[in-house]
Amino acid sequence: MGELRLMKGNEAIAEAAVRAGCDGYFGYPITPQSEVLEYLMSVKPYETTGMVVLQAESEVSAINMCYGGAGCGKMVMTSSSSPGISLKMEGISYMAGAELPLLILNVVRGGPGLGTIQPSQCDYFQATKGGGHGDYRLYVLAPASVQEMADFAKLGFEMAYKYRTPVMILSDGIIGQMMEKVDLFDPIPRRTNEEIIKTCPWATTGKTANRERNIITSLDLDSAKQEKHVFDLDAKYKRMQAEDTRFERIMCDDAEYLLVAYGSSARICQKTVDVARAEGIKLGLLRPITLFPFPTDEISKLAGQVKGMLSVEMSLGQMVEDVRLAVNGKIPVEHYGRTGGMIHTPAEVLAALKSIIIGG
Amino acid sequence: MTEEIIIAGFGGQGVLSMGKILAYSGIMQNQEVSWMPSYGPEMRGGTANVTVILSDSRISSPYLNEFDTAIILNQQSMDKFEKSVKVGGTLIYDPNGITKHPTRTDITIYTIPATDEASRRGNARIFNMIVLGGFLKLKPVVEIENVMKGLEKSLPKRHHGMLPENREAILLGMEIIVKK
């Protein structure tokens, strides 16, 4: 066990990034994630590990600073909330195309547009189906606790380098702002320049006599080459699906009905499961931990066991489309959720389950 | 043991910090804890509230629709949260500034004149610790020694000189809370 602290989700992920050996954070403040930047400025990692912490003049600047840093093999991170993530999308698409590792934190707030500063899960489509342009995917992790905010910073960097891809941590105002107990992992030293040269042979670390120039780009005017590049990306996404799909089963073994929920909504649904079980309803919860790759096989399997599924999201219903694809018409799949910064209560979820699924 | 608490009042009354001290106290005795604040525009000069959960087992939802205990420190919060106390639960409030007193008969209601006591002592900053003391008298979910450790953790070091007066405030709150 490492070090035990009471922290906000936003503080935990900032501390974890320093401990994971991050080389640089570039961001711009926006509620409800400003504590990430504030925390980093208060612990001053530039005086200890040498990690750069920089408040850029805009989100667009911040993401392009990440692009530059990652191109040199550096372990970089940015964070924002929904409207700010939209501004970063061009850079994220470029980095996916250029195959660069990056950790992005989105502490989601209600939208569309400037929306509201309250928690929401309305950015599922943006995180999992593009957001930026082009045939690309992000590896998307959905933390449901402050502990996972810390743990997923480390895991996120591992995945970013394993697949040479931007990784998004899709959090929200609840997980970002709440405080819980966190068991912090021991610090890992930042990689030396020699280690970066050795482990990132693709990076622009300075050309040596015995190799070709490394070029970081997302552009290829030769369409045949570009098609091959996109096919290669696709092979990588399929490998993510095969090797790194993550989910948690909660009371699923004997379940007759199933809730599917991620992040803070999964926490609310856990309480719904407890209350339903006390009433004699055999309810389970499947919590996707990775939203891409999505736990399609597991949901497909559960479709052979339960009578109906309710996808519970703080949105109009976005993940429900992926649940339906996995279930493929075998059983009813519906959505329930508040949106626009409103949060559904455990009791509202149970009432919805009864009226839409059990009674429906 | 699971205790689900809402603390609600004006920004500046120490609502969020009272919750934080309670959460830290829980950690000091190996409990699971969660602290979920309101962080919206209402915080900027209006009402503030925080949901604190202390439990011996894993905490599911940090966001709740009903509470074991509501600690209510202004009228707006009374209007909003009196109805959210579980049947058989506890409502604690400071009558100062309350015009519409709680009327439910299926919960137990206590009053604590913390504002008056704090101003009598000329120290508004101990207000929230007086209230916390009242709560702990009714619900000894954490031991006072662990509260002191929690205080030490959540107060910046430069304020550690204030620890004794905070302890006295907690003890005072334990004395002055009364059943309505």
What is the set of domains in chain A, with CATH numbers?
3-193 (3.40.50.970), 247-358 (3.40.50.920)
Percent of chain A with pLDDT over 70: 99
Question: Is residue B175 in a domain?
Answer: no
In a mutagenesis test of the A interface, which of B24, B27, B38, B63 is the best target, namely the one with the most A β-carbons within 10 Å?
A: B63
Q: Answer whether residue A71 shows pLDDT above 70.
A: yes
Q: What's phi and psi for A286, nearest 5 deg?
A: -105, 125
Residues of A in contact with B54 (CB under 8 A): none
Q: Per-residue pLDDT tens for A184-214?
A: 999 999 999 999 999 999 999 999 998 899 9
Count CB-CB contacts under 10 A for residue A319: 25
**pLDDT value, residue B41:** 64
AA letter at B14: G
In a mutagenesis test of the B interface, which of A4, A5, A6, A10 is the best target, namely the one with the most B β-carbons within 10 Å?
A: A6
Residue A263 contacts B where some CB pair is shorter than 8 Å: no
Q: What's phi and psi for A340, nearest 5 deg?
A: 70, 20
Q: Answer whether residue B45 shows pLDDT above 70.
A: no
Residue A118 contacts B where some CB pair is shorter than 8 Å: yes
Average pLDDT over residues B84-105: 97
To the nearest 10°, report the CA torsion of B36, B39, B44, B48.
Answer: -30
Residues of B in contact with A274 (CB under 8 A): 60
Question: Is residue B47 in a domain?
Answer: yes
CA gap B32, B60 in Å, rounded: 10
How close A210 comes to chain B (CA, Å)? 56
Per-chain mean pLDDT for chain A: 97
Question: Is residue B36 in a domain?
Answer: yes
CA gap B69, B85 in Å, rounded: 6
3-state helix, strand, coil in chain B (%, to 5): 45, 25, 30
Q: What's phi and psi for A40, nearest 5 deg?
A: -60, -40
Question: Is residue B172 in a domain?
Answer: no
Q: What is the CATH number of the domain that holds B35?
A: 3.40.920.10
CB contact under 8 A, A31 and B39: yes
- Bridge pairing between strands B47-55 and B32-37: antiparallel
CB contact under 8 A, B37 and A268: no
When CB atoms are compared, the residue of A32, A269, A343 closest to B39 is: A32
Residues of A in contact with B41 (CB under 8 A): 117
When CB atoms are compared, the residue of A6, A32, A270 closest to B60 is: A270
Lowest pLDDT segment from A225-239, A317-331, B8-22: B8-22
CA gap A261, A287 in Å, rounded: 5
- Residue A95, classed as helix, strand or coil, is helix
Q: Which residue in chain A has the smallest CA separation from B26?
A: A181
Lowest pLDDT segment from A64-73, B18-27, B32-41: B32-41
B42 confidence band (pLDDT: 50, 70, 90): low
Q: Answer whether residue A1 shows pLDDT above 60.
A: no
Q: Per-residue pLDDT tens for B112-147?
A: 999 999 999 999 999 999 999 999 999 999 999 999
CA gap A53, A24 in Å, rounded: 6
**pLDDT value, residue B156:** 87
**In angstroms, what CA-CA distances link B95 with A303, B90, B131, B138?**
55, 15, 12, 18
Tokens of A152: 């997923």
Per-position b or e across B85-111, b if 16+ CB within 10 A of its CB: bbeebbbbbbebebeeebeeeebbbbb
Residues of A in contact with B60 (CB under 8 A): 267-268, 270-271, 273-274, 346
Q: Per-residue pLDDT tens for A110-156?
A: 999 999 999 999 999 999 998 999 999 999 999 999 999 999 999 99
Q: Work out how many domains chain B is built from and give that number.
A: 1
Q: Per-residue pLDDT tens for A244-258?
A: 999 999 999 999 999
Residue A31 contacts B where some CB pair is shorter than 8 Å: yes
**pLDDT value, residue A130:** 84
A89 confidence band (pLDDT: 50, 70, 90): very high
**pLDDT value, residue B43:** 58
How close A196 comes to chain B (CA, Å)? 39
Residue B116: alpha-carbon gap to chain centroid: 17
Question: Is residue B41 in a domain?
Answer: yes
CA gap B37, B17 in Å, rounded: 10
**pLDDT value, residue B46:** 77
CA atoms within 13 A on the CB side of A205: 16
CA gap A69, A231 in Å, rounded: 26
The range of the structural domain enclosing residue B107 comes to: 2-111+138-163
**pLDDT value, residue A254:** 98
**In angstroms, what CA-CA distances link A133 with A165, A166, A167, A276?**
15, 14, 16, 43
Question: Is residue B120 in a domain?
Answer: no
Task: Name residue, tokens 């504002």.
Answer: B115
